[in-house]
Amino acid sequence: MSKEVGGFINNRPSWDELFIAIAVLGSSRGTCDRLRTSCVLVKNNRIVGSGYNGAVSGLKNCDEAGHLIINNHCVRTLHGEDNAIANAVSSLDGATAYIIATPCLGCVKKMLQYGIRRIVYVGAYYNGPGSEFIAKICKGKRVKIEQWTNDPKKIVLIFQKIFTRLSGSGGIFKDLNLAIVPFDIRESAKMEKKCKKAN
């Protein structure tokens, strides 16, 4: 039974919300500060692969050695999608990819080649020449590509939903007496405008 807690109905996150949250957490391991990103590969609501952007194992990463820029793109790192595919534990045919930011053309082609049928991304990131072909090749392969949100505040709402649920009965935070402050996107936008005017 769901009940209202802190202004939210205390329900479970949707599958998309859960896997987006996992991708966001994974992106905290990313080692290129141009974009810390991650990819979670899911099949039948089970994670079959995940990875974040970072240098080839054993080599220095951007955080340690700096960026290696060629054609306005850091080439020191493997993309999160590359690492997720390399770490996959089963066939990816029919899988969904959850990605932090817009995937690049090269990663989209790899995902299509491995049979990924749905690509869900949050945020936006210009990935250089070829980006305009992404929708075209996805359509040609009947792969659904969708931007879940471009508003980072909506990601905060996912985590707020998760923490609210886990602060209730049976949750890991139930005895911590956490105060979950409701996050209102409209109120947050008003506060941002006031702060910008003040500066």
* Catalytic sites, residue numbers: 81
Question: Encoding tokens for residue 33?
Answer: 């500060």
Contact 167, 180 (CB under 8 A): yes
Q: How many angstroms separate the first and last alpha carbons of the chain? A: 47
What distance in Å separates the CA atoms of residue 62 and residue 164, rounded to the nearest whole number?
A: 36
CA 176 to chain centre: 28
Classified as helix, coil or strand, 180 is coil
